[in-house]
Structure 1
Amino acid sequence: MPIIDVWAQHPTRRFIQHDMFDSLRNWSGTSLPPDQPPLSVTVAAMDAAAVDLALISAWYGPEGALISNDEVAAFVAESGGRLAGVASVDLRKPMAAIRELRRAVTELGFKALRIVPWVWELPPTDRRYYPLYAECVELGIPFCTQAGHTGPLHPSEPGRPIPYLDQVALDFPELTIVAGHIGYPWTTEMIAVATKHPNVYIDTSAHTVRRYPAELVAYLKSHGRGKVLFGTNYPMITPLKALDELDQLGLDEETRAMFLHGNARRVFQTLH
């Protein structure tokens, strides 16, 4: 069965060595490589779990690009069709951010925009996001973001699904929103927002199967089976580790297919 990973990174040295990930390593036991690995390492990790395609994201924060859009484009080009690009932008420069997003989609072929609120300590309702939401609608791409608490030592409040993502979905009903990391510990809020809004989805990145909250599993197996997408947050979690014990969820064949690839192809409509 095909598998698409909707949240991954091929890390640069700047990304790996950033001190914001120190606390994440300490409490999660994550072991990152000491330097930027060759792309073959990422592809091999995908192969080990039979992942066909991974969406890899750029990372921009107040200090600049930890993984630039052009670096992501180079990784995608080198991958032979195994990777697809997700853009990021600098929220501090609104017009430059819009132009960069447009370039990433129309020239580099990227499939979505991702902004991680805790990096900026700005919730998704902040005015700096809103021109980008309008541009995502015009470009026909999803807005991807993180929902839930933070492993790094940054405030978790910007990751609350209610009121922030709920309000964005109300203001931009044409915007497709993919909320990564399940929304824990506000998983019930995240499910409520995804159920309420036709264009809001949840991805399971940053969680292994054994750590899926019971309410998410129940949602996935019932009225939410068209709403949940598989993600890893590689290199923090490898695909093999993320998929371990998937059989124990007891998903029927159709639900399993929707979770592992079908929902991703529908949500990211420009994927081939």
Structure 2
Amino acid sequence: MTIDVWMQHPTARFLRSDMLASLRRWTGEAIPDDDIPISATIAAMDAADVDLGLLSAWRGPGGQDLISNDEVAEWIRLHPNRFAGLATVDLDRPMDAVRELRRRVSAGFVGLRVVPWLWNAPPTDRRYYPLFAECVEAAVPFCTQVGHTGPLRPSETGRPIPYIDQIALDFPELVIVCGHVGYPWTEEMVAVARKHENVYIDTSAYTIRRLPEELVRFMKTGTGQRKVLYGTNYPMIAHGHALAGLDDLGLTDEARRDFLHDNATRVFRLEATK
């Protein structure tokens, strides 16, 4: 069984967003005229034998829902054995954000995702801290992005040091899943994951063949084997393309299971949701 911990089912609003223009240029993808059916995302997963995907909702400043929590909840309702949800919130309305996170987790969402560059606010911004406390109380991970920013926004918010290091110090019980491997600060990201018990890395936005060597070395250590999770950032990278070259990594059978399935099941407590 394979679990993708970072993917989106793209709405037309999401695909047409100006902030994704650079990603569309890289992939050469045309914007569809209509919303894409959820069956298309399931077909992409099936083509690579991906059994479960964690679907992200996206909300930006001004309350703009590019992919709403309600939409994600509906896709999960239609396909409960294929998807779980990661909630979005409005950082500018901290108490509303806490209530929304609490409501979504009580309805089965398995974590919170906030993308710092979208808000131009690193994870040490005070608006995040009530959400971190709620994640700890609800026993769900905080999922975020590390590394440079593909969209045309500043990259500073994606630095593992000082930002991820600091929030792990302030909230040692908080489970933090850092997507996009942290490049060009991958060594920093590995160091932070080694240092803090509850800090993890996911490989979204990178194909297996493009993973930085320092991350691959980490995956082959006893600590790293239980710290790295498979993700794609679909639809930016298709599942099959992301997984190509997996056999060449030289992972043991146990490390491969951890990467593709067992780490995600443990970190997101997925057995308890099914």
**TM-score (norm: length of structure 2):** 0.96
Post-superposition Cα deviations, 1:48-68, rounded to whole Å, max 9, x if no partner, equal: 000010000100111411111
Match of 1:49 in 2: 48
- Greater alpha carbon shift after TM alignment, 15-24 vs 170-179: 15-24
Residues of 1 paired with 2:199 and 2:33: CA distance? 36
CA separation of 1:34 and 1:190: change in aligned 2, threshold 3 A: farther
Give the superposed CA RMSD.
Answer: 1.1
Give the distance between the partners of 1:3 and 1:56, measured in 2 at CA: 15
Question: Which deviates the most, 80-89 or 148-157?
Answer: 80-89
- Using the alignment, how far apart are the partners of 1:34 and 1:195 within structure 2? 45
Residue equivalent to 1:70: 70
Amino acid at match of 2:38: L
Give the alignment of 1:130-145 within 5 angstroms: 130-145=129-144
Q: Is the 8 A contact 2:16 2:31 kept in 1?
A: no
Secondary structure at 2:127 match in 1: coil
Partners of 2:139 and 2:215 in 1: CA distance:
28
**Identity of counterpart residues, as a percentage?**
64
Q: Are residues 176 and 11 of structure 1, via their aligned partners in 2, closer, same or farther at CA, if it must alter by over 3 Å?
A: same
Equivalent residue, structure 2, for 1:240: 240
Quick one: which amino acid aligns to residue 242 of structure 1?
A: A
For 1:32 and 1:53, the matched residues in 2 are separated by 26
Say which structure is richer in helix: 2
Once the two structures are superposed, the pairs formed by residues 93-104 of structure 1 within 5 Å of their partners are 93-104=93-104
In structure 2, runs of 5+ residues without a counterpart are none
Structure 2 residue aligned with 1:35: 34
The 5 Å alignment of 1:186-225 reads: 186-223=185-222, 224-225=224-225
Structure 2 distance, partners of 1:236, 1:20, is 13
Q: Retained in 1: the 8 A contact 2:2–2:51?
A: yes
- Distance (whole Å) between structure 2 residues aligned to residue 30 and residue 245 of structure 1: 23
**Where does structure 1 lack aligned partners over 5 or more consecutive residues?**
none
Cα offset for 1:35?
3.4
Does the Cα contact within 8 Å between 1:136 and 1:142 map onto a contact in 2?
Answer: yes
Q: Matched residue of 1:55: which SS? A: strand
Give the aligned residue type for 1:9: Q
Q: How far does the alpha carbon of each residue in 1:24-60 deviate from its partner, in whole angstroms, 9 at most, with x for none?
A: 2223445554432101000000000000100001001
Q: CA–CA distance in 1 between the matches of 2:23 and 2:47? A: 24
Separation (CA, whole Å) in 2 of partners of 1:259 and 1:200: 15
Aligned 8 A contact 1:30 1:237 in 2: no
Shift of 1:250: 1.3
- Contact 2:11/2:35, CA 8 A, preserved across alignment: yes
Q: Which amino acid aligns with 1:152?
A: P
